[in-house]
Amino acid sequence: MRAQYRRLAAGRRLDARICWLLSQSPGPLSIYEIAARLTDLSGRRCFPNSVYRALQRMARSGAALQIVSANGWMLRDPEDPGPVLVLICENCGGGSQHPAADLGQAFGRLCREAGFDLQRPHLELIGTCESCRTTAETEQDGGRIYATL
């Protein structure tokens, strides 16, 4: 019984460390990036399969979100447990989450009609964030910055 408790406690510690790392990242992190950062932070080797199991556990509880298009993971916004729209910048890799209750209802209806069991309702959109777009526009204009009001 004690060994089982220690394993659970260790699992929770790993979950907490992963939550902290994901909260510090501007975009999704891969399992290998998480394992490497945890190894650097603790000085002890952290194996990707341990990170994977922890992330699966966190996803089931709603704490983490798998971002398939980026082959990574993000911390789930605890304030909004409903469907989310995830915006991923293809230039900098940054990501943000936005509530998408209306889309979730539409997807739910479509899935019911198709006889499909929707597990994790989120939609990933890939594009260019405002910061990267502004940087690209500045570079195109020879370094001049224009303000629009």
Q: Which residues contact 15 (CB under 8 A, 6 or more apart)?
A: 54, 57, 58, 63
Identity of the residue numbered 144: R
Per-residue model confidence (pLDDT) at position 146: 40
Task: Tell me, yes or no, whether 89 and 66 share the same domain.
Answer: no
Domain of 69, CATH number, reads 1.10.10.10
What's CA 50's distance to the chain center, in Å?
A: 18
Last residue of a domain, one of 40, 60, 76: 76
Structural domain of 148 = 77-149
Per-residue model confidence (pLDDT) at position 32: 98
pTM above 0.85, yes or no: no
**Structural domain count, the chain:** 2
pLDDT tens column, 64-111: 999 998 899 999 877 777 888 899 999 999 999 888 888 888 888 999
Task: Tell me, yes or no, whether 18 and 52 share the same domain.
Answer: yes
pLDDT tens column, 28-76: 999 999 999 999 999 999 999 999 999 999 988 888 999 998 899 999 8
φ, ψ at 87 (rounded to 5°): -105, 125
Rounded to 10 degrees, the C-alpha dihedral 99/20/50/82 comes to: -10
